[in-house]
Amino acid sequence: MPAMTEPKLIAGNANRLLANAIARRMSMHRGMNVAPVDARVERFNDQEIFVEVFENVRGEDMYIIQSTSNPANDNLMELLIMTDALRRSSAARITAVIPYFGYARQDRRAKARTPISAKLVANLLTEAGVDRVLTLDLHAAQIQGFFDIPVDNLYAAPVFSLDIKHHFRDRMSDLMVISPDVGGVARARELAQRIGAPLAIVDKRREKAGEVAEMTVIGDVSGKTCIIVDDICDTAGTLCKAAQVLTDNGATEVHAYITHGVLSGPAIERVEKSVMKSLVITDSIEPSEAVKKASNIRLVPTAPMFAQAILNIWNGTSVSSLFELDTLGPIYEGLYQTD
């Protein structure tokens, strides 16, 4: 049976724009005002984090909206301390809505004497009192198994397919989806199937972390509009080099669809100077002013999807239904026209 209490949101400082957008969208769905609860998340002079919730949350179904993006450690600690504050205030259930799950790239021991930080973060969240996690495009699907609590992992591919069908509707037959490495083939294949496009792979060899020594295109991209698909863009070095390699192999245009625009260091400058016509990212990480001003970077909203997922968790209905365009399409109606 649906819960009797209304879902309540609380936002950290990591991505207040997205939190407010989710609240507005939930207000539309509920036909009533939904706003993040009144709280303050501040720092003492020595940078210790302090949280105070000004509303009664006893017995409430609480949703903490907080990406663990840069500064990752600060935002993670905010999430943990907010969880502790809610647990000690007798919240009935605490769901951590983490649009960007930091430390996800450290999901295994690739070398001796290295940590599995994604598992450590999972332990921290569970011990702090989180009852459930809602996230978007985990770097590795097995991270769900690091938790002993339910994890709902949403996917950007359905939203990207809506965006592609809208912006490339006159040349769908020319599209080719590109995986920037062998490890991302499953993600790229899913999007390729959704838009009915062929798939190619850019095989890369690394001599050391962060440096790509050689790239080879597996597949014929000549005369194609290539769409590179990946989950994270950090410094954009590999992405921009892949775009150049595709162009050198005959691609007419190169675009990229990346779920999490980390875009650290020289990333934005590299993207603007690259041969890519556009880089499309979600708002899972709050965009900086530089991202907003970049001529070839565009944002896709995730608030409609997260708002519906929160409502589905609250009322006990399917979250996986949001993987299907029949369900997701109406949620994004008005943003995309695919006819």
**Which residues carry out catalysis?**
204
Q: Measure the CA–CA gap between 313 and 321, rounded to whole angstroms.
A: 12
Q: Measure the CA–CA gap between 202 and 309, rounded to whole angstroms.
A: 34
Q: Which two tokens stand for residue 206?
A: 């690394």
Q: Which two tokens stand for residue 217?
A: 């295109």
Can you say whether residue 90 is alpha, beta or left, with left for phi > 0 and alpha for psi between -120 and 50 degrees?
A: left
Q: Measure the CA–CA gap between 150 and 267, rounded to whole angstroms.
A: 34
Can you say whether residue 236 is alpha, beta or left, with left for phi > 0 and alpha for psi between -120 and 50 degrees?
A: left
With CA atoms as reference, report the closest residue to 49 among 84, 19, 18: 84
Q: Measure the CA–CA gap between 87 and 275, rounded to whole angstroms.
A: 50
Q: Which residue has the tokens 């979250």?
A: 319
Contact 194, 176 (CB under 8 A): no
Sign of the CA dihedral with 245 first, then 265, 297, and 176 last: positive
Strand 297-300 to 278-282 pairing: parallel
What is the DSSP secondary structure assignment for residue 144, as one 8-state letter?
A: G
E-strand spans in 20-60?
A: 39-43, 49-53
